[in-house]
Amino acid sequence: MAKKFDLSKGEKFSLGKGDELSAIQVDLNWKSGADLDASAFLLNDDGVITEDADFVYYKSNNRSEAYDRTKFGSKKNWRDNTVPVSFDGSVVGSADDLGDGEDDGGEEAGETMHVDLSKVRPEITEIVFCVTIYDEEDKTTFKNVRDPQIVITNEETGEELCSYNLKEHFSSETAVVAGALVLNEDGDWEFEAIGKGYDGGLQTLVDMYQ
């Protein structure tokens, strides 16, 4: 197995072209006393989403299975038993991990997203992966989150390609852009370690990328 690369903030790891390595698993892990949610934004050259479904998050109405009232009963039950997907189906989001990493003695919590680079439509040049505090009213911030990490894995082989441990000293931030898959000028996909925090939670990211 090839050596996994541990990235520092701002570093990039080349994944090649989408037809060379298409199936990517993105794990966002942490140990904390907070309930975090993972989300993704599929952006064009202007750095914004072009379809509502390109904001992939737990409450999205674009999901792995269409709503069927007979099967699911309520919309809540439907969301609880399906996962969000992007407009083109290239990004499959995570079921919500309600664990806070503390009730079980500090075991690792996390959420997993799946990316098929071969399905990404041409106008998408960046896929940003974020984590946010679920409930800001309890005053929890990323200062309380321990060992946040993003790991990129070749889903076909199970080989971990690179990881980024977010060692930044966060304080009041309630949203963090962990990293992004970026299409470079040569048409190759790269993973970039970002680790940038924001106040205002998920809404700040929505406002930024719309």
CATH code of 99's domain: 2.60.60.30
Amino acid 173: pLDDT = 94
* The predicted structure's pLDDT at residue 104: 47
Q: What is the pLDDT of residues 145-188, one digit of tens each?
A: 889 999 999 999 999 999 999 988 888 999 999 999 999 999 99
Cα–Cα–Cα angle for 20, 38, 32, rounded to 5 degrees: 120
- Ramachandran angles phi, psi of 79, nearest 5°: -65, -35
What pLDDT is stored for residue 95 in this prediction? 73
Between the CA of residue 54 and those of 1, 87, 127, 144, 163, what are the distances in Å? Answer: 34, 6, 9, 29, 24
Count up the domains in the chain and report the number. 1
Question: What pLDDT is attached to residue 49?
Answer: 98
> Tens of pLDDT along the chain (210 residues)?
455 799 999 999 999 866 678 899 999 999 866 789 999 999 999 999 999 999 999 999 999 999 999 999 999 999 999 999 999 999 999 876 555 545 444 567 899 999 999 999 999 999 999 999 987 566 789 988 889 999 999 999 999 999 999 988 888 999 999 999 999 999 999 999 999 999 999 999 999 999
Could you read off the pLDDT of 29-45 as tens digits, one per residue? 998 667 899 999 999 99
* Cα-based torsion angle of the residue sequence 141, 113, 87, 11 in order, rounded to the nearest 10 degrees: 70
- Give, as one character, the DSSP assignment of residue 204: H
* pLDDT value of position 167: 82
Give the domain range for residue 50: 5-209
Per-chain mean pLDDT for the chain: 90
The predicted structure's pLDDT at residue 148: 92
Q: How far are the Cα atoms of 44, 95, 118, 167, 195 from residue 110, in angstroms, in the given order?
A: 27, 10, 26, 17, 16
Report the pLDDT value the prediction gives residue 98, as an integer from 0 to 100: 53
**pLDDT at residue 99 in the model:** 52
Residues forming beta bridges with residue 190, ordered by sequence position: 14, 182
